[in-house]
Structure 1
Amino acid sequence: MIRNPIDVSTRVSSNLSALIETRLNTDDPEEYVTLAVIRDYLTDMLSAAFTETEHIHHFDINDSLLDELDALIEEFGETALASDFVQNSASEPMSRVIDAVINSRDQDNPPTLEAVREAIAMGLPARLVGDGVLDEDEDDALLAEIDALINRHGGDALAEEFLRYE
């Protein structure tokens, strides 16, 4: 298997990344899980989970994941390793929030993901928008992103480990 020379995980939504990670965690570690395997997994999961009526209700979410996955397969090929597409870092806006939390705290106690979540809930993104650190549209998804990071890595994970600057 050839690994991608670029960080392709930055091109994947957090929802698709979490789905890939879930599938990877259920497999034999020596098995190569490709994007084609992930597509089969998603298709099987959707077929088993939804009746036709429920599928219509969840149409946008499911189709958007399939569309995103199909676009990745078209660009990188169905034999691309799925593990390359799992996000292990925060988005650029979340990195700026984490950086602000780090810079506002005592260095003896580095902030955890839970501390970042608390700062977001207490209005830090609005202050960062006012300071010009974040754009207005960048603060909308921060709470969902930090919750996803906490669900995947735990609230006690050190926030600085997820910093990413492009």
Structure 2
Amino acid sequence: MIRYPVDVDTRVSPNLSLLIDSRVNDPDAEQPVTLVTVRTFIAGLLPSALDEVERLHHFDMDASLLDELDVLIEEYGGDALAIDFVRSDASEALTRAIEAVVDDENRENPPTLGTVREAITGGLTAKLVGDGVLEDDEDDTLLAEIDALIRRHGVDALAEEFIRYE
């Protein structure tokens, strides 16, 4: 197993990280999933009938993910395991949710990822949106994001370890 000198997952955008995570956790995916495997998947999403200018204009999200992957492939190689590039820190929105659970004065034990998931499914996001801590559209991906962290690190991982400090 190759160990990189820096946390390579910090060099990956949240969108690419979620996409890589979905490919890595796809039961039908070829194992092991590499950066080239993910690139091939994304390239397959772009309609081949469009010329390059139309692709970039209409599908800039997919194109930017391809550009980001190309940089990673150039630096780390196409056969690098994709799982190493899945972000292990929380998004800004999930960080706010974790902090809300951590700051709960009624809590006796440090919260785990499972505790945060329970809070999210129990209405925490609606409360945070109502309090103005989260925007309406930010709560849409919190459950998927916490589930991805749980799959990778386990339900009992301390939630504070995933707070993003920027």
- Shorter chain as denominator, the TM-score bin is 0.5 to 0.7
- Cα contact 1:3–1:81 (8 A) shared by 2: no
Q: Return the alpha-carbon distance in structure 2 between the equivalents of residues 147 and 26 of structure 1.
A: 18
Q: More relative contact order in 1 or in 2 (CA 8 Å, sep 6+)?
A: 1
Q: Return the alpha-carbon distance in structure 1 between the equivalents of residues 102 and 144 of structure 2.
A: 20
Q: Return the alpha-carbon distance in structure 2 between the equivalents of residues 160 and 14 of structure 1.
A: 18
* 2:129 aligned partner: 121
Change (3 A) 1:13 1:147: farther
Q: TM-score, normalised by structure 2?
A: 0.65
Percentage of matched positions with identical amino acids: 40
Query: After superposition, where does 1:105-120 map in structure 2 within 5 Å?
Result: 105-108=105-108, 110=111, 111-113=115-117, 114=120, 115-120=123-128
> 1:66 Cα shift?
0.9
> 1:27 Cα shift?
5.2
Quote the RMSD (CA, aligned, Å): 3.9
Q: Return the alpha-carbon distance in structure 2 between the equivalents of residues 29 and 60 of structure 1.
A: 25
Unaligned runs of 5+ in 2: none
Q: Once superposed, which parts of structure 1, at least 4 consecutive aligned residues long, lie more than 6 Å away? A: none
> 1:80 Cα shift?
1.5
* 1:135 aligned partner: none
Change (3 A) 1:93 1:37: same
- Cα contact 1:120–1:142 (8 A) shared by 2: no
* 2:6 aligned partner: 6
- Cα contact 1:95–1:162 (8 A) shared by 2: no
Unaligned runs of 5+ in 1: 127-138
**Count of aligned pairs:** 150
